[in-house]
Structure formats: structure tokens, C-alpha cells
Amino acid sequence: MTLLHGLLRSLLVPGLVAGLLVGLLLRGLAAWLGNLVGRRPAPPPWQPLLELVRLAGKAPPGQDRPAPAAAWPALLALAALCGALSLLPWPQWWRGAELPLELLLYLSFLTIPPLARLAAAGMTVSGPAALGARRQASLELARLLPVLLTGAALPLYAGQFTLAPAVSRDVWSIVVGLGGAVIWLAALPWALWDRDDWEAPLAGLNGRPLALYRAVESLELTAHLGLVAVALYGSGLFPVDQPAWSPLLAVVAGLVVLILWEFRGYRPALPGTAKWYTRLLLPAAAVIVFLAWWFG
């Protein structure tokens, strides 16, 4: 892959622009449909995009001097997510021969946005934001553990670390692929920080710095669903010559999960949420990894 090709993938498809639009659209559709089904006032599906544009045109408050410094972690997270999205073999499944450990690189990129949010909380002057960051840290760690552990399943089964895993047609490839997809869907990042809670890590931010973090949220959702698409592709359920089915199903499944969260008024900061990740998803991820190792 040439340098120009890599830059275009990072900026266009499936990079920054496409990833941002997909994430914003999913957030907007989920909020609209979830509230509509729950018979609550529903914001228009394009509301997240309008909010992002509004924040981007608004300077941070003059009294919040640390806000520009808090934006630096967001820029790092944006760069990491652009790199992650450029690695995705989508819309065409493409093997990056020069990155044999690209799945590990992709997973490492996904750890940067949570760290960026927690770092931003420490750079604001908001006391509630610091309190929210302390509560959020355990929640972020509990969510990332099953995500990272499940990342070992496909390499163990397929014998390679590429994001376009070898497609097999046996029953255990289906179990490993679908199991990984389900765990990654259950650990979607979107609901963890989208709520406008005063005691939240980003409570002290506004204007352009907050717009950066809203962009990070949308890109992170798209990048996470890219993992789901990789797991679905590795399951071998779909024809090899029709690779578009995997990312399409990943987006639809992600939208369904987000709609259910919105419909139920999901509040992940409630006590017991971390237990959902550590006592249910983490053991399930360990089982998937064990099956991948045993039958791979």
C-alpha cells in the first residue's frame, strides 16, 4: 500500500469522514427510534451532526482555560481511530501484508479513547468531572477487558493476526466468530459517555474541545463495529465472494443494540454495570478464547 493510498484510507473510506458519518448516523437513528418506540419525544436522526457542528463553531468559555489543553488527548484519540479505521478490510476485504499484527494494533488503538477521556477530566477545572473520571475509570477497564480478551480468539483459531481472517466452514469457526461478535456487540462503547451527566469525565468541557470528544465517540463506535464485522467474516457464514454482508450485518446489529439501550433508558453508570462486564462478558470471552485455542 502506497503512502497516498494509506492517507486516503485514513481520511476517507473507511477512515475519518466515513467513520464519523456512520457513527453520527447510528447515534441519531438509535436515539430517534428508541424514543419513538418508547413513546417519548424523539430528537431528529441528524441531531448528533447538528450538535457537533454547533459545538465546533463555539469557542470554549473564557474562564475554562484548561479546556484547550484537554483537547490534546482527543486529537491523539482521533489519530488512533483514523489509523484503526484505515486498517479495516472494508468496503473490500483487503489483507495488509505489511502489517501482520494488525489485529493487535487495532485493539491497542481502541484503548486510547477511554484514556483520552480520563486524561481530559484531569485537565479541567471541574470538580464533578474529576469525580466522574474516578467512577468512569473502573467502568472503562471493565468494558475493555472482554473486548481485548476476545481479540485473541480469531488469531488462535485462524492462525493469523490479520483483520481479514481465514474463512473456515466448520461449526467451530461459526461458534468462535459469532461468539466474538456477540461479546463485542454487548460491549459497545457508545452508551458509556453519551449522556449529559454533570458528574461525567467531560463535564468541564464545552465548545470545540467537547466537539472533538463527540467526534471521538462517533469514530469509536464505528471502529468497534468494524471488529464485529471482522468476527462475522471469520465465522464463514457468508459467501466469500460477497464480503459486504459482514459489515452490513454488523451495522444493523449495532443499531439494534443501541435502540434497545435507548428504549430502556440505559444508564451504565448505575451500580452493577461493571459487574455485567466482569462477571458475564469476561467469562464468556474466556470460553470463546478457549474454544478457539482447542479447535484452532
CB 233 within 8 A of CB 154: no
Q: Alpha-carbon distance 46 to 29, whole Å?
A: 8
Question: What are the helix (H) ranges across 45-170?
Answer: 47-56, 67-87, 102-110, 112-122, 127-150, 153-158
Give the confidence band of 183 by pLDDT, cuts at 50, 70, 90: very high
For residue range 12-26, what is the model confidence (pLDDT) as tens digits? 677 788 888 889 999
Q: Alpha-carbon distance 289 to 98, whole Å?
A: 26
Instruction: Report which residue type is found at 242.
Output: Q
Percentage of the chain beyond pLDDT 90 is: 25
> What average pLDDT does this structure show over 2-11?
67
The whole-number pLDDT of residue 94 equals 47
Report whether pLDDT(96) > 50. no
Give the confidence band of 182 by pLDDT, cuts at 50, 70, 90: very high
Q: Alpha-carbon distance 158 to 170, whole Å?
A: 12
CB 229 within 8 A of CB 19: no
Q: Alpha-carbon distance 179 to 40, whole Å?
A: 34
The whole-number pLDDT of residue 93 equals 47
Give the confidence band of 146 by pLDDT, cuts at 50, 70, 90: very high
Residue scoring higher pLDDT (127 or 229): 229
Grid cell at residue 168: 473456515
For residue range 108-117, what is the model confidence (pLDDT) as tens digits? 999 999 888 8
Secondary structure class of 287 (helix, strand, coil)? helix
| Phi and psi, residue 89, nearest 5° | -80, 60
Grid cell at residue 120: 481530559
- For residue 170, give the nearest of 155, 158, 185 by alpha carbon: 158
Residue scoring higher pLDDT (128 or 108): 108
- Range among 8-17, 46-55, 107-116 with highest mean pLDDT value: 107-116
The whole-number pLDDT of residue 95 equals 46
- For residue 47, give the nearest of 37, 55, 38, 39 by alpha carbon: 55
> Could you tell me how far CA 91 lies from the centroid of its own chain?
18
Span of 60-69, 106-115, 150-159, 163-172 with lowest mean pLDDT: 60-69
Percentage of the chain beyond pLDDT 70 is: 83
Report whether pLDDT(218) > 80. yes
Report whether pLDDT(202) > 80. no
> What average pLDDT does this structure show over 271-295?
88
The whole-number pLDDT of residue 56 equals 82
Give the confidence band of 288 by pLDDT, cuts at 50, 70, 90: very high
CB 140 within 8 A of CB 118: yes
CB 173 within 8 A of CB 235: yes
